[in-house]
Structure 1
């Protein structure tokens, strides 16, 4: 087993540590909060799982993109929230309970919605492909549900220990993530850079910008929910997106390169938005 094949496993462990740290600071009420607000849950689902997939499909139809890119865009659009996002959203002024609740709700719903969406899109674009709920459930459970639940249980049973562990666990998770992700980006950079100069970056930037706008509008009248939904709509779970892309017929390395490019561009696009929301002070 070479280094490149080990790195994704280290990234998974790092994500689990970060989410575990988040759970040590969260409560069961936070995790289930969105299920108690069906109106906001519906708007969140529409923003992430209806409008953005349609936007991605529109770009695929309108532009002659490389096949791995068009599959990756659709795969990203139907994937759930990345489990690292809630902390970023809270730092940008987002509501903690909504950020955590959205991560949990969309992750659980994705077990049903992602396989259905894959079937619809592969059928619409004349490709053979499928992904089982079990595949999605495994990724969701490993990177979101289990570490978050364990953290919440510890917070409830031994609050003093949870408070002491929360920050260092999350910090070590982020350190491991950076140390694992940078070599992976370096290893796949030739594939990423090959997508420059053909309009792919502009299309990805447009899709990320639309995601911010759609989420901001559908987030409702409260600034702290608008911020969370905007960032969640434009940022997606790369591991599930890769599984969806491969199931949709894309080769693994080109699909991963396209997904990495989206993550990089979407992160850069969100920087001024986050700065604006912090300056606005949740007005």
Structure 2
């Protein structure tokens, strides 16, 4: 999986436009509500940081993944939720303010947790430690893609609420269309590479995706959180920042094979999250 115009420019630009649309549906009160109920944030962070790396480690051992692919799966597990988690939470009518809060907090925490988890994985699977510095630049880029467009959208909503309300449904439909086009473009561009590695790591990636999304939904419900917050947490920890994982594999570790799990997972999570959002909306309707 190589860095390309799609991953470096078109994807961040499209996500920025979509995040602007999400901001049109948010107010300051949404974030105040999250601050009043910190338990949801804590549960989401514990699942993301404390549970998912162990799940990825267990799957790597269970499927006896080659060392570089095992490290790639651990790198994916250590990556925070991506901007697309907010989009799918919006489509599934989850608590988007909680998603944005979790993404922001976890993106900062991963400056510490990601290098630790990745260095331990390198030591265990490859037998030689290789220091991985915190990906500060990429985290800042992700923060800009998420926070700035949302802030602009919220400003528009506060100044022109009627306009923001009219635009909410068209933006939701645009989100689905843009995501579908990006998935098709990504698959078409890397079809042969992804197909050649699917037999080796594809099932492990799919199971990791299902475990992430399933635990993210069921654990909060078991702990008596509202369904909207459970939906938000499921999307947050089920949709990882594959772009960040690919960036680190290619530009920090210099190993294209380690980027394969993130590339495969990114394609799968779009489809599974879409099915999950459709199922939630059907149940609600």
TM range (shorter): 0.7 to 0.9
Stretch of structure 1 that moved more, 78-87 or 270-279? 270-279
Distance in 1 (CA, whole Å) between partners of 2:237 and 2:281 is 18
Contact 1:118–1:244 at 8 Å: present in 2 too? no
Match of residue 277, structure 1, among 248, 266, 280: 280
Matched residue, 2:22:
22
Contact 2:30–2:97 at 8 Å: present in 1 too? yes
C-alpha displacement of 1:172: 5.4
Against the structure 1 CA distance between its residues 166 and 109, is the aligned structure 2 distance closer, same or farther, given a 3 Å change threshold?
A: farther
Please, which runs of 5 or more residues in structure 2 have no aligned partner?
A: none
Matched residue, 2:266:
263
1:111-137 Cα distance to aligned partner (Å, 9 max, x none): 443344334444444341413252243
Aligned-pair Cα RMSD in Å: 3.0
Contact 1:185–1:260 at 8 Å: present in 2 too? no
Contact 1:209–1:234 at 8 Å: present in 2 too? yes
TM-score (norm. length: structure 1): 0.81
Matched residue, 1:242:
246
Matched residue, 1:145:
147
Distance in 2 (CA, whole Å) between partners of 1:171 and 1:273 is 17
Is residue 234 of structure 2 the alignment partner of residue 230 of structure 1? yes
Against the structure 1 CA distance between its residues 30 and 244, is the aligned structure 2 distance closer, same or farther, given a 3 Å change threshold?
A: farther
C-alpha displacement of 1:145: 1.8
Against the structure 1 CA distance between its residues 261 and 189, is the aligned structure 2 distance closer, same or farther, given a 3 Å change threshold?
A: same
C-alpha displacement of 1:16: 0.7
TM-score (norm. length: structure 2): 0.81
Against the structure 1 CA distance between its residues 78 and 58, is the aligned structure 2 distance closer, same or farther, given a 3 Å change threshold?
A: same
C-alpha displacement of 1:18: 0.6
Matched residue, 2:57:
57
C-alpha displacement of 1:255: 4.0
Matched residue, 1:81:
81
C-alpha displacement of 1:17: 0.7
C-alpha displacement of 1:110: 3.3
Matched residue, 2:198:
196
Matched residue, 1:114:
114
1:73-119 Cα distance to aligned partner (Å, 9 max, x none): 11221222221222322433423433343333333433443344334
Aligned length: 277
Matched residue, 1:5:
4
Is residue 158 of structure 2 the alignment partner of residue 156 of structure 1? yes
Matched residue, 2:38:
38
